[in-house]
Structures are given as C-alpha cells and as structure tokens.
Amino acid sequence: MLFTTLMSSCESEPEVDLNQIPIDTKVKRFERAFYNLDTGNFISELNSIKGEYGPFFSSGAENIFWRNQRVNEQNTKLYALCEQEFADFEAYEQRLNNLIKRYYYYFGASDTISAYTYVSSLDFNFPVVFSSPYLFIGLDLYLGERAADYYQTLPLYLQYHRQPAFLLRDVAFAMAQSKVPPPEEPLSLLDAMLYYGKLLKVSERLLGEVDEATLLVYPPDKYVFSQEHEKDMWVYFIENQLLFKTDQDLQRRFIEVAPFSKFRTKTDPETPGRIGRWFGYRIIDAYLEEYPNLDLKALINEKDARKILKLSAYKP
C-alpha cells in the first residue's frame, strides 16, 4: 500500500465480520476474453462471449465496431500492458471481493454486483463505472509508469492518479457516490466539504483499511503539508468567513480537482488540490469520534451541515 511508512492509516470498523456475507464476487476479465479472440474467425468467436459479457454488448454496436476495437493498435498495446501489470490479479480480486462484501453489509444485497475489467481506450473521464448491479474497471487507466507515454496528455497531477494503488480506492469512491446524495443548491463551501467528507468516509469503510494519502489521492509531500498546516488553513476559512458562502469560485479554489488549492498565498503550490474535501473528511471523522455508534446510513442522511460542524467539535 502506498506510503504506509509515512502516512497515518485509517481503519474502518475492523469488527465487521465478512464471513457473515455469503456472496462472493468473481471478477470477469472482459479484456482477456476479447483480445484473445481469433481475428480469423472473429464473428463466431465474438458471438461465443456475448452471453458471459452481456453488458458490453447492450448498446447494440455492430460487429464492425468490435472488429475495429480488436485490431486497434493502441488498444492491443494497452491490453499487453494490462497483462503485465495485472497478470496476477488474485490479490486485487480478494480485496475487491471484501470491498463488495462491506458494501452488502452496510447497504444490503438486493442487487448482486457483477464486476468486470476491460480496456477503456484511455477513457480518463470514467476509470471506474458503478451502476448497480454492474461494476466496470478500466485497467488501462491504472498502469502507472508502464503506460507513462499514454498518460502524457494529462497534467502531472492527474497522471499521479493513474497508479495501480488507486484502483480499489476509486472503486470504493464510485460505489460511495451511488449512496451519498449531493446536497441541495445553493451549495455552501461547508456543504461541499461535508458531501465529499461523507464520500471519503464511506469509501474508507468499504476499503476496510487505507492510508489517508491514498484515500485522498495526495502525493506524500502534499499530504504532509496538509497535516502540518491544518490549523493555519482552517483559520483562513474562519477568519474570511468562507464556510457558509455559496460563491462558485470557492468550489473551484478548494473543492474541484486541481493541481493545488488556492488560498492566494505564496505557499499555494505546496498545498494539495481539493483541500476542502480533506477538511470535510476531518470534520466527519471528528463527528464520528463524538458519536461512535452512529449508523453509517444515519450519517449519510444527516443533511444539516452546520449541525454536523457544531457537534463534531472539530478544532485543529
């Protein structure tokens, strides 16, 4: 796991007994089935996998589309890199199975999840897609240094996210997004902070154990900066009375994906982007320390941001 010697570790309810969840998830490797099809007998072999990988064919794309995908040079190279990086997928599969079991534990198993991996053709906007009961993971977006040449179109701070260590983190986050409703407009900075704080807390619970830097997707130096300057940054929000303002500019400066957060000081480049999300996580963490028996669903359904902040007694 990334940075375990440097970063603090988060544990989410280790008392959860996964053995009580009888449902096991076997990941279906669509990329292996597809890129091993014989191009000389392509249509027949394509038809042979449609039953097992039905969700990929639900759009009704014609066979010529699939043939072009099969012989596309970039995709075949990405598949080869996926085979190198994820040749032994057993460890990922076991952890993913446990992640999904935790999802069932917290949210029920009315829909049994089917998990698939595939080559996304570098669809950076959708590295993980969760639409119950289907979970899709684009392995070509988690190749790290192996695919550095393909990731060069991204700015460096986004390239950082494309490491294998963030694959399961992104799965948990996508599943959390399906359960945490966004706050109503107009959205204050505190509303946005706590929305992402809830998403991160649910993600943490689904992962079972994850260091904070990985959960936040923060590079080590920027994570350390956030820890060392937590009080100063919080004082900035308070003294400038920003928490309850609804200016969209605040979302861009402190919530949205960016190379760094914008306090408009000379140290801005040292900060991690999306620092407001981290503060939301810290507030939610403090709130649960005050109310350790609070049910996860009750946390999700608590919409009063001011109430959460007050009762959290958060004070860095």
Same domain, 195 and 146: no
Closest by CA position to 135, among listed 61, 60, 206: 206
Q: Which of 123, 112, 114, 194 is nearest to 162 (CA)?
A: 123
On whether both 147 and 213 belong to a single domain, the answer is: no
- Tell me what pLDDT residue 17 has: 87
Residue 131, domain member (yes or no): yes
Nearest to 200 by CA among 233, 226, 170: 170
Contact 96, 168 (CB under 8 A): yes
Give the per-residue pLDDT at 209: 87
237 belongs to a structural domain: yes
Q: Is residue 9 part of a domain?
A: no
Query: Same domain, yes or no, for 50 and 138?
Result: yes
pLDDT value at position 58?
94
The pLDDT of residue 215 is: 98
User: Cα Rg for the chain, rounded, in angstroms?
Assistant: 21
Same domain for 199 and 81: no
- For 34, 98, 259, 310, the CA distances from 243, given in Å and listed in that order, are 50, 37, 22, 13
- The answer on 220 and 128 residing in a single domain is no
Instruction: Render each residue's pLDDT in the chain as its tens digit; 316 residues.
Output: 333 333 444 544 546 889 999 999 999 999 999 999 999 999 999 999 999 999 999 999 999 999 999 999 999 999 999 999 998 899 999 999 999 999 999 999 988 999 999 999 999 999 999 999 999 999 999 999 999 999 999 999 999 999 999 999 999 999 999 999 999 999 999 999 999 999 999 999 999 989 999 999 999 999 999 999 999 999 999 999 999 999 999 999 999 999 999 999 999 999 999 999 999 999 999 999 999 999 999 999 999 999 999 999 999 9
Q: Amino acid identity of 145? A: E
> Is the residue at 144 inside a domain?
yes
Report field, pTM of the whole predicted structure over 0.85: yes
Residue 284 lies in a domain: yes
Distance separating alpha carbons of residues 94 and 86, to the nearest angstrom: 13
Q: Are residues 147 and 264 in the same domain?
A: no
Same domain, 262 and 217: yes
Residue 83 lies in a domain: yes
The total number of structural domains that make up the chain: 2
Q: How many beta carbons lie within 10 A of that of residue 93, not counting itself?
A: 18
How many CB atoms neighbour CB 15 within 10 A? Answer: 4
Q: What is the pLDDT of residue 10?
A: 57
Asked if 194 and 302 sit in the same domain, the reply is yes
CB 133 within 8 A of CB 179: no
Flag whether 168 is in a domain.
no
Three-state DSSP class for residue 244: coil
- The per-residue DSSP string of 194-220 comes to HHHHHHHHHHHHHHSEEEHHHHHT--H
User: Do 215 and 134 fall within a single domain?
Assistant: no
Which pLDDT score is estimated for 111? 86
> Same structural domain for residues 154 and 204?
no
What residue numbers bound the domain in which 56 lies?
28-88+113-162
Same domain, 150 and 35: yes
* Dihedral class, residue 241 (left if φ above 0, else alpha if ψ from -120 to 50, else beta): left
127 shares a domain with 37: yes
